[in-house]
């Protein structure tokens, strides 16, 4: 945890180096997230960032013996509730910078993609949360209704590393429980995000992709599941200069083949069968009703082998297997949703009522995932994100004994200075022998002078 004195010294070693490498605090200032007095925004950001690794929430932290070193509860909640902070700009700056570093580690020919999906953001026990709505969870096996938001998320992936880029917490105009507070400044970025929350997902998606491309994020395809792969949205994304690969539902959408309008079932019957490729059934080039040329690949449904699934690509130059392989990268965003909710305390850590607090905390959680993703990419072993998360927890819990060990060595050195040279030589020899036998991860916490002696 971070104390008031020397706030950077008590961050775990891995986090300190990663924060500097990704320039997290620089991007925070660049986005205009600053304060003129009191605890700095960088300090408060790091404090909230590290809570998860301490295995404590903010209430338990303030109840602990170290509470005198921390700001009051109001300081943190004022930071989270500030409507003028441009959290989207911060996330775009940080993700673009991180993606640039990841791209340098990737093969130039490796496809880079933007992945689009939504997930439930539950607030079932809440009553007074701003813009709270009754939403339908189409991804749940129970097909349930819940109170909360739909978290529309745009991420980037190269097949090995997933980086969140942008998000929007969608409310509803028709199923809204609470409205927008009247106290909000209508000139602020917080008010603009509230207006976006009342838009539909297809209205927001082209703007999200355009912001990512304007930020310099390199991607060749947008991957979507059946809930978003509709012809008007595909055309809008294609007009942005980026291709779409997505799974298609068998709805009323029509396609042109030799001048005839056909359904998806008819398209399957017209497609030429493919021999000798397991799971790959048929493929055909066709034109959507709105004039967009696409390639449709039909694969066997592994859950029900008597049925088929259709995958669409607006890049007709790709071969069938490459379309399926690239579409498989879409699963990275499902892993992201699971990790942020199960390990990183998304929607659980802070129970704020303002829409700004939801946006700010979600951005901090996305930053946690980004830091873990970058460390995972840079590590030489095959650690999972979950394993790396628990290693960081262990490192932070060891900080107290590490500081105590440093103080013990420093006290011993001060005592040596007051003794005669013969005793100094004897004790230093024993100390050097003891330090040499310590594991490297313990040596990292010792003063440099001791390690060098």
Q: pLDDT digits over 311-355, tens only?
A: 999 999 999 999 999 999 999 999 999 999 998 989 888 888 999
**Is the CA virtual torsion 387, 390, 392, 394 positive or negative?**
negative
**Nearest alpha carbon to residue 114 among 151, 154, 152:** 154
Are 132 and 171 spatial neighbours (Cβ–Cβ below 8 Å)?
yes
H helix count then E strand count, the chain: 18, 12
31 DSSP 8-state letter: T
Could you read off the pLDDT tens digit of each residue along the chain, which spans 453 residues? 554 444 444 467 778 888 999 999 999 999 999 988 888 999 999 988 988 877 777 777 777 766 677 788 888 899 999 999 999 999 999 999 999 999 988 888 889 999 999 999 999 989 999 999 999 887 776 678 899 999 999 999 999 899 999 999 999 989 999 999 999 999 999 999 999 999 999 999 999 999 999 999 999 999 999 999 999 999 999 999 999 999 999 888 999 998 899 999 999 999 999 888 888 999 999 999 999 999 999 999 988 888 999 999 999 999 999 999 999 999 999 999 999 999 898 988 888 899 999 999 999 999 999 999 998 888 744 445 666 666 666 655 555 556 666 666 676 677 667 667 777 777 777 767 767 766 665 666 555 444 444
**Nearest alpha carbon to residue 195 among 137, 130, 143, 274:** 130
**Nearest alpha carbon to residue 344 among 184, 164, 87:** 164
List Cβ neighbours of 371 (8 Å cut-off, separation of 6 or more).
Answer: 15, 18, 19, 22, 24
User: How confident is the model at residue 349, as a pLDDT?
Assistant: 85
User: How confident is the model at residue 453, as a pLDDT?
Assistant: 43
Q: Torsion-angle region of residue 357: left (phi > 0), alpha (psi -120 to 50) or beta?
A: alpha
pTM, two decimal places? 0.81
Q: pLDDT digits over 205-224, tens only?
A: 999 999 999 999 999 999 99
């Amino acid at each position: 945890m971070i104390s008031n004195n020397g706030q950077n010294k008590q961050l775990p070693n891995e986090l300190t180096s990663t924060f500097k490498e990704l320039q997290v605090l620089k991007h925070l200032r660049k986005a205009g997230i600053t304060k003129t007095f009191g605890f700095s925004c960088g300090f408060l950001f790091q404090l909230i960032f590290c809570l998860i690794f301490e295995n404590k929430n903010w209430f338990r932290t303030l109840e602990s013996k170290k509470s005198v070193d921390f700001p009051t509860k109001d300081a943190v909640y004022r930071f989270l509730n500030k409507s003028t902070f441009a959290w989207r700009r911060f996330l775009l700056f940080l993700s673009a910078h991180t993606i640039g570093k990841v791209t340098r580690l990737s093969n130039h020919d490796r496809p880079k993609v933007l992945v689009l999906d939504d997930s439930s953001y539950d607030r079932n026990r809440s009553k007074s949360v701003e813009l709270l709505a009754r939403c339908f969870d189409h991804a749940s096996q129970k097909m349930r209704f819940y109170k909360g938001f739909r978290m529309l998320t745009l991420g980037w992936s190269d097949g090995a590393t997933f980086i969140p880029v942008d998000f929007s917490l969608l409310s509803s105009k028709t199923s809204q429980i609470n409205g927008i507070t009247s106290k909000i400044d209508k000139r602020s970025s917080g008010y603009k995000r509230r207006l976006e929350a009342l838009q539909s997902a297809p209205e927001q998606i082209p703007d999200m992709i355009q912001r990512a491309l304007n930020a310099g994020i390199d991607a060749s395809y947008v991957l979507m599941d059946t809930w978003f792969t509709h012809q008007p949205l595909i055309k809008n994304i294609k007009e942005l200069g980026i291709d779409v690969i997505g799974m298609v539902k068998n709805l009323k959408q029509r396609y042109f083949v030799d001048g005839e309008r056909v359904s998806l079932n008819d398209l399957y019957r017209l497609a030429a069968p493919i021999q000798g490729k397991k799971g790959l059934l048929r493929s055909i080039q066709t034109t959507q009703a709105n004039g967009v040329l696409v390639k449709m690949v039909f694969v066997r449904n592994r859950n029900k082998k008597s049925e088929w699934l259709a995958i669409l690509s607006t890049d007709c130059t790709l071969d069938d297997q490459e379309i399926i392989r690239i579409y498989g990268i879409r699963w990275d965003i499902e892993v992201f949703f699971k990790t942020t909710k199960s390990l990183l305390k998304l929607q659980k850590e802070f129970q704020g009522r303002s829409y700004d607090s939801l946006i700010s905390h979600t951005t901090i959680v996305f930053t946690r995932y980004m830091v873990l993703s970058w460390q995972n990419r840079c590590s030489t072993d095959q650690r999972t994100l979950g394993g790396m998360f628990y290693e960081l927890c262990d490192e932070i819990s060891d900080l107290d004994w590490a500081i105590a060990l440093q103080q013990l060595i420093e006290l011993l050195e001060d005592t040596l200075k007051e003794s005669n040279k013969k005793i100094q030589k004897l004790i230093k020899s024993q100390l050097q022998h003891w330090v040499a036998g310590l594991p490297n991860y313990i040596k990292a916490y010792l003063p440099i002078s001791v390690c060098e002696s």
